[in-house]
Amino acid sequence: MKKGLNLLIRNGHIIDPSQGMDGKGDLLIEDGRIRELEIRDSEFKTQDSRFKIQNSRLEIIDASGLYVLPGLVDMHVHLREPGYEYKETIKTGTMAAVRGGFTTVCCMPNTKPVNDNETVTEFILRKAYAEGACYVYTIGAITKGQKGEELAEMGMMRDAGCVAFSDDGFPVMNSLLMRRALEYSRVFGVPVISHAEDAGLSAGGVMNEGALSVRLGLRGIPAAAEVVMIKRDIELAALTGGRLHIAHVSTAGGVRAVREAKKAGIAVTAETCPHYFTLTEEVVYGYNTNAKVNPPLRTERDVEALKEGLADGTIDVIATDHAPHHMDEKLCEFDKAASGISGLETALPLCLRLVEEGVLSMRDLVEKTALNPAMITGIERGSLRKGAAADVVLLDPDREFTVDPEGFASMGRNTPFGGWRLRGRPVAVICKGRMHEIDSGAVKQL
């Protein structure tokens, strides 16, 4: 027998958009790779399986009542290492990913030092290989030090393993430089990810601009700060033929701009995050710093537009923008508080609400959280096809739980969802050749 993970997962509801699979069936993992996959319409009977079980030490799991999905891919996380290990480490961040059902994450370059050269890229990848609970891919900076002044060494970072480039956290305000980035990146065929924010319009702002920001006396960031930048970058993508991906779309105007660009045939993809389609600015009330995030939480109108954009395919990806922070960075003045939400461990159940509401089918959801982010970044993951590494999530869609930030694997407990009652949780995640049981005893063996 083979040394690696050997596992037969029976009678689960397998969904794999990469192969158009959606139905009850069995999945055989041998030596940590997908060996066989079968969809059956009839109910499971032990003797019926056509998989020949020659290996007596093969572990068999009863997945009836569970979804069997490709491991989710989050193309937008902040792992904070190197430099901000007091917020999160590669180890804790990837553990949080696995607990949330993600087997692959792409980490943004705003570390200290910034991931703007191959040395930092190599450091992160080496560390992730050794300590990461899931697979880690790196996103390199567009500009040196994320300063928006000159291009970083994209080619060398690409060689070292970077799958995309972004100055996430900061916009590239200089339009000429953004043009050059979109042009130059065509050599490598990787996307440039835009943090779409006009820094002039957003200057000093800490929440969405509107009646509530006036009522709270907080400085606002108008929706236009995002929309004008998305529109600029779309024009630059059209001009250059570069591949543009818009990070964390939060506004109705942003959705509209991307929709029109796609109609015009411009190479643009877009993502949003669970907090943008779940929450509105109202959560900021009471100066709740856990609801401070950039771009800011918007209005009901924007939430509805994001859902429409997800439903009609304008928005390709749901990413978490997992942004862990230390408690002290949130327990302070709202103006001074760090922006961001620790999102990996609540993302999947929040996405399942969209399925419950009829916005997305389960298959759409897997596309937006596994297949599409893998395709956009050119990562060979997010699929259960034969021969692929076994990145698999067993999801119990009915398991209810109360969000307890103190119980997070992430060091960042900064979430506005603390105390929320959510439904749907991974019970087991298979990744890097081993199975993580999320809730002990939840996996039924045969």
Edge-to-edge, what's the strand order for the sheet holding 72-77? 72-77, 102-107, 135-140, 162-166, 192-194, 244-246, 268-272, 317-318
Site string for another protein, 218-237 (x = CB under 8 A): xxx-----------------
The catalytic position among 116, 321, 364, 391 is: 321
Q: In the window 352-371, what residues touch another protein (CB under 8 A)?
A: none
198 contacts 169 by C-beta, under 8 angstroms: no
CA neighbours closer than 13 Å in the CB half-sphere of residue 97: 39
127 contacts 169 by C-beta, under 8 angstroms: no
Site string for another protein, 312-351 (x = CB under 8 A): ----------------x--xxxxxx---------------
DSSP 426: E
Of the ranges 101-109, 166-174, 206-214, 359-367, which one interacts with another protein (CB under 8 A)? 206-214
Strands (E), 17-101: 21-30, 33-39, 59-62, 67-70, 72-77
# residues near another protein by CB under 8 A:
22
* Binding residue (CB under 8 A) for another protein from 287, 418, 422, 436: 287
Strand 392-402 versus strand 421-431 pairing type: antiparallel
Task: Please tell me the distance from the alpha carbon of residue 354 to that of residue 314, in angstroms, as a whole number.
Answer: 16
CB of 294 to another protein, least distance (A): 17
Peptide bond preceding 70 in cis form (omega within 30 of 0): no
Of the ranges 217-225, 226-234, 373-381, 390-398, which one interacts with another protein (CB under 8 A)? 217-225
Residue whose CB is less far from another protein, 220 or 296: 220
Peptide bond preceding 191 in cis form (omega within 30 of 0): no
* Binding residue (CB under 8 A) for another protein from 3, 42, 56, 217: 217
* Binding residue (CB under 8 A) for another protein from 211, 239, 264, 446: 211
Task: Please tell me the distance from the alpha carbon of residue 424 to that of residue 275, in angstroms, as a whole number.
Answer: 17
Say whether residue 297 binds another protein (CB under 8 A).
no
Residue whose CB is less far from another protein, 71 or 220: 220
CB of 299 to another protein, least distance (A): 11
Mark whether 321 is an active-site residue: yes
Per CB under 8 A, residues contacting another protein are 203, 209-220, 286-287, 328, 331-336
Q: Which residues participate in catalysis according to the annotation?
A: 321
